[in-house]
Amino acid sequence: MERLSKVIAAAGVAARRKAADLVRAGRVRVDGKVVTQPGLPVDPDKSRVDVDGRRVRPQAKRYLMLNKPCGPLSTAADERGRPTVLDLLGDREERLYPAGRLDADTEGLLLITNDGDLTYRLTHPRHEVEKVYEAEVEGAPSEAALRKLEQGITLDDGFTGTSRARILRVGDESALMELTVHAGRKRMVRRMLAAVGHPVLALRRTRVGPLTLGKLRPGRHRALTEEEVAALKAYAERATASAEEAAARNQN
């Protein structure tokens, strides 16, 4: 038996949090009856599950790495018809979606998958998945600016948490630096760097957990290797376990 929201996510309909929203909205039936409890135990091999009148069925899992260029939106569809990252993949039979987001003007590594459970583990803020960015910034950050970034910065929507920051290259009017963070709030990296006086000129994500971008060119994608998928799942499991342990300690 599995939670209903997990069954829907495993079928590639939506990530687990979105699947839970679909259930709460009354858009899901189990064996013909409307269900509104995402945690309802369901046997996917015996029960029929329908979302918006369409039966959901397990599908083969797909894991793609995309080097997102500037421009496309990190979403499966846009109501205004703007280009999305899925437009870069060509025609595919599977229902895929991005595991997380990158701003339209940010490049770099984006995981595209139909594995709702893995997407949930990698994108839930509590799991603090490590992400690495390369940023070209105005000027050259001082040691004091790097320390502020590493200690964390309080933005208008809260504390960023600690990070790691280092300079990779210094030019005449700009510098290339690497920033490692564990949160993923909207435009957070850009706001952090602006807060220490070094606005971003260009931003690229190079790593998510154990998954690295490598030499994949902008706009191109490839399937993950079996070893990469295994490493990503193991990392996500550890992140989830760590978050659950921290939550348990806070309750005591």
Report the catalytic residues: 103
DSSP codes of every residue in 61-112: --EEEEEEPSSSBSSS--TT---BGGGGG-S-SS--EESS---TT-EEEEEE
According to DSSP, the β-strands at 107-113 and 200-208 are: parallel
16 token code pair: 């687990």
* C-alpha triplet 193, 212, 105: angle, nearest 5°: 40
Q: How far is CA 23 from CA 15, 26, 40, 77, 205, in A?
A: 12, 5, 10, 21, 33
Cα–Cα distance measured from residue 39 to residue 4, given in angstroms and rounded to the nearest whole number: 6
H/E run at residue 25: none
According to DSSP, the β-strands at 131-138 and 154-155 are: unpaired
Identity of the residue numbered 10: A
Helix ranges, the chain (H): 4-10, 16-24, 116-123, 143-151, 188-195, 226-251
Both ends of the chain: CA-CA distance in Å? Answer: 30
**Nearest CA among 160, 164, 130, 161 for reference residue 146:** 164
